[in-house]
Structure 1
Amino acid sequence: MRKLILVLLNAVIVAITVKAQVLRIDPAVRRGTLPNGFTYYIRHNEEPKDRVVMYLVNKVGSVLEDNDQRGLAHFMEHMEFNGTANFPHNALIDYLQKAGVRFGADINAYTNFDETVYQLPLPSDKPGLVDTGLMIMRDWAQNAMLDSGEINKERGVVLEEKRLGKGAAERMQRLYWPVLLNNSRYAVRMPIGNDTVLNGFKRPVIASFYNDWYRPDLQALIVVGDVNVNTIEQDIKRMFAGLKKPSHEKARIKYQVPLDGKNRFVAVTDKEMTVAAADIIFKHPEQPLKTETDYRKYLIKNLYNQMLAKRIDQLSRQATPPFLQGGASIGGFIGGLSMFDVSVVAKPGELENGVKAVWREIERVKQFGFTQGELDRTKAAYLNNVESQWKEKAKTNSESFVREYQNYFLKDIAAPGIDKERELVKTFLPAIFLADVNALSAANITCHDRTILLLAPDKEKEVLPSEVVFTSWINTVQAEKLTPYQDDISNKLLLAQQPVLGKIVEEQKDSATGTYSYLLSNHVRVILKPTDFKNDEIIFTGIKPGGTSTATDAAYESAALSADLVNSSGAGNYNETELENYLADKQTNVIPFMQPESEGVNGNTTPKNLENALALTYAYITEPRKDKEIFDGIVTKSIAALANRSSDPNSLFSDSVRAILYNKNVRKAGPSLEKIKQLNLDTAITFYENRFRNVNGMTFVFVGAIDTTTIKPLLEKYLGGLPSHENIEDAKDLGIHIREGIVNKNVYKGTEPRSTVLLVYSGLMEYNPQNVVRLDALKETLEIRLLERLREEESGVYSPGVFVSSSKYPQGRYSFVVQFGCAPQNADKLIASVQDEIDKLKQSGPLPQNLEKWRAEDRNSRETALKTNGFWLRYLSGQVENKESISKLNDYTKIRDKISVADIQNAAMTYLSGLNYIRLVLLPESKLTSR
């Protein structure tokens, strides 16, 4: 009896301990459940200010569909935008656009196997709009009208969305998906659905799905933003308490992918597949993340993944890389499973070599484990990242909180908040040892529940290995006598030579933008924009005119590669691997760039690591490394990537578009063996050094948490010490632009009944702020109409896009592009509809309500953007590049608010005249043979 009591007592103690370890949800979020089962999460957050995001999350996805409903979970998502009790037909989109919310970009939704999620970001400072947002959520929860006419109109839209996904990847997935998913229900419930069902279902079938599954016990509303939590909670209780469960409630089965202990092998080929690839997937039961113990395991897994990724990435830096891409990681899968996935994209004819190379590193880790240095660096970087998130906790974007609460509701993943996570990381990280991390290899590389998946072009079908042969490759590597990994650590200083100190010779402050400008003694200009948008972020760019325009045609390919080559080779005393290790705990990234008309560097760092970032900037500019092994590796992989490129319809169309738009100019052509043969290491490095040998005319822009006092000596040391002389070499006008005149061209490639349409208008323009804003207004108002007509009225496309770009140098020019995918037989009709809408714009301008929609959308997005570091960096560097005053920020708002219907009509007549018009259409090969 005493023994039994002790056993029971121990069981109680264990239960209490486990319960105490359960990670409670972040106390900053208000969570509740109504009597009908409806759940809500509300959090006040002011990033961004005066904005709120609402998500309706449903534990409802395609896995719940009956056989006659396949695709209707996703179709139901579409129908929520096509008529609800309070917003019949398309009134919802119209209302939200007028409120400044963009369809697709802001208001959106997605459907997966197990969930359907609707998102709605709104201004929270406009009276009544938040209440209307809750009404929309209430309508989505249970008030969809499912009008038969709207259903029939939406069939075409959904089928066009399905058409966009057709191709080699989709065809092959249909064949290997049942094998990979052990013939589970997930294998036959792809969210996009079945053509027969989508074309033929009647209203009662989708209504049955809606009534069965859109119910309060499977739903949650997440509201995060600049709102009053108490008020929102009362509104939710009032508005959502009336949601009803169905009278005959179906059980919400939690479907699983069963583990049966068997190993599987599947090889699939396709004529349009461009590479041979292999995945070795070990399936395991999904690990929970609910308790502190789970969190420790989660940390160990992340450390393991990061170290393993770096090991495999180093293989790609060899002179003859063994693969095009390689990777391995532990991660989530589907149907209650996680997986350890080892992947290889092989060079042509080298699948065996690629697989063995990656597996060799997997086996090396399994046999010898990671080094203490690898673990120490990875732990330090992890801790720094968490500390940075903690410092930014008051600046965290609302969307980040939404994702946490969504996972908490859907997947029961703990959401304790950054305060608790920081505490856990600081507690657990020091006590995670090599043995903890190294144990994951044996735990995940098992002899059962393994699937080997091979994907390849049709022409390689006969040489693909059998399961026996493939397994022998693995066994061969396991039998090799491997040696432990050698950690590549350097004790040298980053810089071979320290900079010669420069001086700030001129200072100015611009009160309109809150910026500080400095001129250094070497003619480098620096603009600082201190902000409080982030507590631990500084982003910057340094830019100088010139770029590849200064290279000869013969040297162009090498010049265009030069910055990427330098970035891949390291800087100063460190090669790329040594530099990566050096920067592991420094939260600093600097990347040199070489563009057609400019060169420079982009970077991001933290206030603590600013000097590291500036030192690295100095190293990339003055001490680039010349690494033949890296160069040879780039060339080898580039050649290998070309082998089957022409088999892919999208790649062929892209190359054809470039050739046609730029009249076969060598600098604009797609990749080719001839271009790769022009690459030369010495030419690339010499060009790079010449472009950065003189920084006269270079401007650096820094934005973020800047201390204007402490940064000055750093600017003088690292930027003031850059080499300079009096001459300034500007970019050259090579006369490269989209060709003039009218071109009508079809490109035939591919087997799927799918077309891509590209309509291009271009030409000279008088570049000024007024015309740039008019172009944007023209673009947006046309896109609104094309969405209404091509999608909603004609059901011919899924998502038409309109894109505009303009440039001041070397000439004032613009391009205006309309793009969409469609059925081949509908291409001409839809192009005619586009032209008709353009003609209407030229004849009478846009509808006034569409102009106001653009204005509201732009006002809404700009108000938010103005409070981000990214906006200010783009604005300031853009003004510098265009040689414009940085004090013109407020001009934009004045111009936008004065844009009239007549302005857009004139813009349409000017920019869409049709004098320079290129019509390009990708059609399937069957159309070519049927002509």
Structure 2
Amino acid sequence: MRLSPYRFKLCLALTALLALFLISCGSSTRGGSPTASRGIQNQWPHETGHIDPDPDLAFGKLPNGFRYVLLKNRTPKDRVSMHLMVEAGSVHETDAQQGFAHFLEHMLFNGSTHFPPGELVKYFQRIGMDFGPDANASTGFYHTKYDILLPDGKPESIAEGLLVLGDYAEGALLLETEVERERKVILAEMRTRDSAEFRTFVETLKFELPNDRISQRIPIGTKETILSADRALLKDFYDTWYRPERMILVMVGDFDPDAVDPMIREEFAGMTPRAPARPEPDMGEVRHSGIRPFYHFEGEAGDTDTTLQVIQNIPLEPDSVDRGRRELTLDIANQIVQNRLDRIIRQPDTPFTSAAAASEIYPPHVFYTYITAQSRPENWERTLSVLDRTLRQALEHPFTEAELSRVKKDFLAALDKAVKNASTRESPMLARRIMGKLGMNRVFQSPEQQRDLYAPFIKALTGEAVHDAFKSAWAPDHRLVMVSGNARISEASNDPESLILSAYQSSVETPVSAPETQAVATFPYLDPPENTARIVRREEIPDLGITRIDFANGVRLNLKPTTFKANEVTANLNFGRGRSAEPADKPGLAQISEAVVNESGLGVLNRDDLEQALAGKNTAVRLNISDEAFAFQAKSVTTEMPLMFQLLHARLVDPGFRETAFALTLERYRQTYEALSQTVEGAMRLWGPRFLAGGDTRFGLAAYDDVSRLTLGDVEAWLREALENAPLELSIVGDFKTADALELASAYFGSLPARKVDTPEGPAGIIAFPKGKTLEIPVRTRIDKGLIQVAYPTDDIWDIEKTRRLSILSAVFSDRMREVIREQMGASYNQDAYNVPSRAYPGYGVMSAVIGVKPDDAEKVVRAVKDIASAIVRQGVTDDELRRALDPTLTGIKDLQQENGYWLNTVLAGSRKHPEQIAWSRTMIEDYAAITREQLRQLARRYLDNAAAAIVIIRPTIGAGGQPEGQKAG
């Protein structure tokens, strides 16, 4: 179970465009009086507003007030996404009930009318649902949501799903023994979620909304109230707020709405309130004025956040086209400012490494507008000055026509793409968007409706209107000047807030001039090469719809047209050996190189100019460096396939290597490394993989001191050898015609100079697993939580039957840990077991059990994990365990085989070197279905050897360095 995001922080404006239409992370023109209470109207948003919903939605409401919305959707095939949204969350708790909405969400998995304690999760697994991805729940300030992803749309499956949701709605047993047991799990979750980011969020919220109820009702609750929870108190919250008129059922998927309607009525029409209704709590008001500084120090943060912000109440007005246009206008203004910030970031001597300008509404009665940036702690004052000047420049001077034109093109392209993608949108995503709209009292519309309503408006939008919207958003008579993170701000005569206020006041005294007009960049790589390509081999694989072509120059082309995603084309241009070829004396080179190339743009266009030249396009290409290969990965739309090929060709023959990109990448790496080194989760990422690989520097993250010794010349020299000489394999999957792709590939890649196809590749090397060894990592943190990993050496990926059986063995292992460590011991909230077989390193693979723990419980939990492994070795697995591991896997495979990404990245990419990948796709379902208990037991006997296990234990040590020299291996 998970807590929903508390706020949609850093919602960039292009994302906000989609959010305006999809999940309501938008903005609003101010006006009207503040709202004291949100209220439940038990009406659909389109019934109170002036905007039509998606015509494919079917709405229903029962006499008891229970509502439901149904949408037939065939992607993925057979799947049905079901959700019960209860309009009750943490804001509805009393002082003594803090955390009870979330506690109750947990309890609904621990015994109900039709599912005794411990049976619901097993039931999900038996019908082919994976607890977690397919069956889960979340608690927020205003809503609690329960999610089920059915493996098929058969009437009996839907009836069972409705039975489960009906039990959530009114059938909780809330047994006292289960309350006591789950209390330990929730305290473990509280410990797991504690972080520098979470603490900063809580303190920031108290400053921003001191009189608003949400700052006093964080969904996780307090330790004191969780310890005081009992059946009577939880039942009081359940009976009071889980009422039929506060519930909405959302169903999207491959089913017949007409057939489902009577099933819903039968399950929910008899619901009645179990307790008297209580009034909606007073949400409070925002009352900021003047300049208000805020400071919060978190030494374990990797950087410092500096923010200028205004925040105010807004009325809860009905949804309307006018409201959508106002919000869209502000989103366009914010994106113009965002583009300016992006350009500033890539200039030499800029004090920050990332920045955002955005607006958002959350909770529904509160409006934020902010400009924010992340920097080194010593740069907070310079960062504040740049943000202030950028903001005042945008307020005092009109936006240029070129800036407006670029953003309008991007927004119009996003609307057009959404329409063309609409027919293959995935059901879980659609369900989430419908719930997001309902949660914000917004109307869910089809992409076509949105385009028809807003495209003409965008085209006619003037710079004056956009500038006025931006000025209006920042019109309130206050500024919140906020600095948080790892900056120590102190002076003998002044407190931090006074120093922040003084720095801001100094900045605002500096006049700002109008922005310089930027030259409009154009994309220069338009004409295809003139050489003629010759095909030397063509192979059709009819049963899989795959075509394989070899050009005379040694380039391999793999093609698979699909209909999985309308108007989507994806591509991988693979070459070289990737990270496995990283020189031993240059640790971190792969990570740095990937970021430098992506940040540099192209040889004749830096990244800013490239993005400007591609305004209004839906095609992007980026470098990815995996263990086994370099790859330029592309994502495009059908009509832009020529542009996709032009970009791939340009990335290959004219890559960019820029000092400014290198410097920015190095600073971002430093911030990331510093943040990771001060959390237990980060320490695992930094040092766990390297320890399990016998110290090989290609694993884990390289120390910043090592990375800082790299140069741009190191990056360019390493990559150019592969770019210019390594064999090329281009794989394309998606909504295209084979003839079109072949023509383009012939022009742009078949005509390249011949590649050294027969050049032997050097060995990746043998990885030495540290059998029987333990690594203890002390982390400099005041957050009291630990993390352990118990790892067993396995094997590489290439014996696919063994690999598949090891994956099922790890699923059984993971479920045993859930039952023993979480459910019985209450020692952990999060635990997982998984097998990772290498593609690049012969004979190397690791099966890991990773568990978040109390620091003092580390050794006890390690023993429990080893006991689980020993039990599997001695006794094997049960038929029930095997089925509960296999059935969700088989359901997931059916989904996987309907995804472009699977065919591109798992089947085609790299198939020139490993043609067996293609055959694997034919046998996957049958082979998994044939797995037996005895096979798993034999693998357990071979690999789950506790004498060979390696242990990683990470614990907090106040004052410890948290660096490699502070580690202890044994």
Matched AA of 2:906: Y
2:699 to 668, 681, 689: 668
2-side partners of 1:884 and 1:134: how far apart?
A: 43
Partner amino acid, structure 2, of 1:745: L
Give the C-alpha shift of residue 47 in structure 1. 1.2
Q: CA deviation at 1:883?
A: 4.1
Contact 1:53 1:121 in 2 (8 A): yes
Distance 1:766 1:591 in 2: 26
Helix, strand or coil: the match of 2:81?
A: strand
Partner residue, 2:577: 546
In 1, are the aligned partners of 2:185 and 2:829 still within 8 Å (CA)?
yes
In the alignment, what sits opposite 2:9?
A: none
Find out whether 1:366 has 2:398 as its counterpart: no
SS of structure 2 residue aligned to 1:626: coil
Q: Structure 1 151/393 Cα, relative in aligned 2: closer, same or farther at 3 Å?
A: same
Give the direction of change, closer, same or farther, for the CA distance of 1:569–1:457 in structure 2 (3 Å limit): closer
Code of the aligned partner of 2:916: E
Instruction: Map 1:49-128 onto structure 2 (within 5 A).
Output: 49-126=77-154, 128=156
Q: What is the CA–CA distance in structure 2 between the aligned matches of 1:111 and 1:616, rounded to whole Å? A: 43
Equivalent position to 1:924, from 956, 964, 967? 956
CA distance in 2, matches of 1:559, 1:212: 56
1:264 is the counterpart of 2:316: no
Inter-partner Cα distance in structure 2 for 1:722 and 1:478: 58
Q: Secondary structure at the match of 1:452?
A: strand
Task: Quote the residue 1:531 is aligned against.
Answer: 562
1:460 deviates by 4.4
Which structure 2 residues correspond to residues 811-830 of structure 1 after superposition, within 5 A?
811-830=842-861
Q: What is the rounded CA distance, in whole Å, between the counterparts of 2:529 and 2:608 in structure 1?
A: 22
Partner of 2:474: 445
What do residues 711-744 of structure 1 show as CA deviations (whole Å, max 9, x unaligned)? Answer: 2221111111333334544543343635332112
SS of residue matched to 1:84: coil
TM norm structure 1: 0.93
Query: More deviation in 814-823 or 396-405?
Result: 396-405
Equivalent residue for 1:208, pick from 221, 236, 241:
236
Tell me whether 1:473 sits opposite 2:504 in the alignment.
Answer: yes
- Is 2:869–2:946's contact at 8 Å kept on the other side of the alignment? no
Determine the structure 2 residue equivalent to 1:735. 765
Q: Deviations over 1:297-333 (max 9, x none)?
A: 1221222232222211122212333213222211123
User: What is residue 372 of structure 2 aligned with on the other side?
Assistant: 343
Identity %: 23
Give the alignment partner of residue 173 of structure 2, picking from 139, 145, 156. 145
User: Does residue 318 of structure 1 match 2:347?
Assistant: yes
Alpha-carbon displacement from aligned partner over 1:625-661 (angstroms, at most 9, x marks no partner) = 2322322333344456666765445444543424533
Q: Give distance in 1, aligned partners of 2:326 and 2:528.
A: 44
Rate the CA distance shift 1:249–1:921 in 2: closer, same or farther, 3 A: same
2:319 is aligned, of 290, 298, 314, to 290
For 1:912, the equivalent position in structure 2 comes to 944
- 1:539-618 equivalence runs, <5 A: 539-555=570-586, 557-558=588-589, 560-618=591-649
Q: Which runs of 5+ in 1 are unaligned?
A: 1-17
Matched-pair contact (CA < 8 Å) for 2:787–2:953:
yes
Supply the distance in 1 between the matched residues of 2:673 and 2:892 (Cα, whole angstroms): 41
AA of the residue aligned to 2:596: L
- In structure 2, which of residues 865, 886, 892 is the aligned counterpart of residue 861 of structure 1? 892
The offset of 1:559, in angstroms, is 5.5
Alignment coverage as a number of residue pairs: 912
**Displacement of 1:373:** 1.9
Q: Which residue of 2 aligns with 1:8?
A: none
> For residue 712 of structure 1, what is the aligned residue in structure 2?
742
Report the CA distance shift for 1:321/1:663 in structure 2 as closer, same or farther (over 3 A).
farther
1:204 shift after superposition: 0.7
Task: Tell whether the 8 Å contact from 1:598 to 1:731 is kept in structure 2 after alignment.
Answer: no
Counterpart check, 1:228 vs 2:228: no
Tell me the distance in 2 between the aligned counterparts of 1:145 and 1:251: 26
User: Is contact 2:306–2:383 with CA below 8 Å preserved after alignment?
Assistant: no
Tell me the CA shift for residue 492 of structure 1.
6.1
Q: Quote the offset at 1:671 in angstroms.
A: 3.9
1:889 and 2:948 matched: no
Are residues 54 and 666 of structure 1, via their aligned partners in 2, closer, same or farther at CA, if it must alter by over 3 Å?
Answer: closer
Provide Cα deviations, 1:494-540, integer angstroms capped at 9, x if missing partner.
36994633233322110121111111121111111111112200011
Aligned 8 A contact 1:63 1:189 in 2: yes
Q: CA deviation at 1:138?
A: 1.1
* Distance (Å, rounded) in 2 between the aligned partners of 1:920 and 1:464: 42
Structure-2 residue corresponding to 1:4: none
Aligned runs of 1:144-543 on 2, under 5 Å?
A: 144-253=172-281, 255-261=283-289, 263-286=291-314, 288=317, 290-334=319-363, 336-457=365-486, 459-462=488-491, 465-467=496-498, 469-470=500-501, 472-473=503-504, 476-477=507-508, 479-491=510-522, 493-494=524-525, 498=529, 500-543=531-574
1:898 aligns with 2:927: no
Q: Determine the C-alpha separation between the residues in 1 that align with 2:553 and 2:235.
A: 72
- The SS at the match of 1:742 is coil
1:540-568 deviation per Cα after TM superposition (whole angstroms, max 9, x unaligned): 11212423444543455446533432222
CA drift of 1:56 comes to 0.3
Decide whether the 8 Å contact of 2:766 with 2:842 is kept in 1: no
* Counterpart in the other structure of 1:29: 57
Task: Say what the alpha-carbon RMSD is for the aligned residues.
Answer: 2.6
CA–CA distance in structure 2, aligned partners of residues 40 and 307 of structure 1: 40
Offset at 1:926? 6.7
Between the aligned partners of 1:94 and 1:646, the Cα distance in structure 2 is 38
Q: Which amino acid aligns with 1:517?
A: R
Change (3 A) 1:596 1:97: closer
User: How far apart, in 2, do the equivalents of 1:458 and 1:493 lie?
Assistant: 44
Q: How far does residue 87 in structure 1 lie from its aligned partner after superposition?
A: 1.0
The separation in 2 between residues aligned to 1:534 and 1:482, in whole angstroms, is 47
How much has 1:406 moved relative to structure 2? Answer: 1.4
TM-score, normalised to structure 2, is 0.89
1:78 shift after superposition: 0.4
The 2-side partners of 1:565 and 1:848 are apart by 51
TM superposition shift of 1:815: 0.7
Letter in 2 for 1:224: V
The answer (yes or no) to whether the contact 1:589–1:613 under 8 Å persists in 2 is yes
Match of 1:844 in 2: 875
Show CA shifts across 1:24-77 (max 9, x none).
222211112111111110111111121111110011001111122111100000
The answer to whether structure 1 residue 657 and structure 2 residue 685 are counterparts is no
Taking structure 1 as reference, are residues 784 and 835 closer, same or farther at Cα in structure 2, changes over 3 Å only?
Answer: same
> What is the distance in 2 between the residues matched to 1:129 and 1:652?
43
Matched, 1:691 2:735: no
Contact 1:512 1:887 in 2 (8 A): no
CA distance in 2, matches of 1:570, 1:608: 23
The 8 Å contact of residues 240 and 274 in structure 2, kept in 1 or not, is answered as yes
Structure 2 residue runs without a partner (length 5+): 1-45, 962-967
Following the alignment from structure 1 to structure 2, what is the Cα–Cα distance between the partners of residues 927 and 633?
Answer: 30
In structure 1, the residue matched to 2:35 is none
Task: State the partner residue of 1:3.
Answer: none
What secondary structure, in the 3-state scheme, does the structure 2 residue paired with 1:366 have? helix
Amino acid at match of 1:455: S
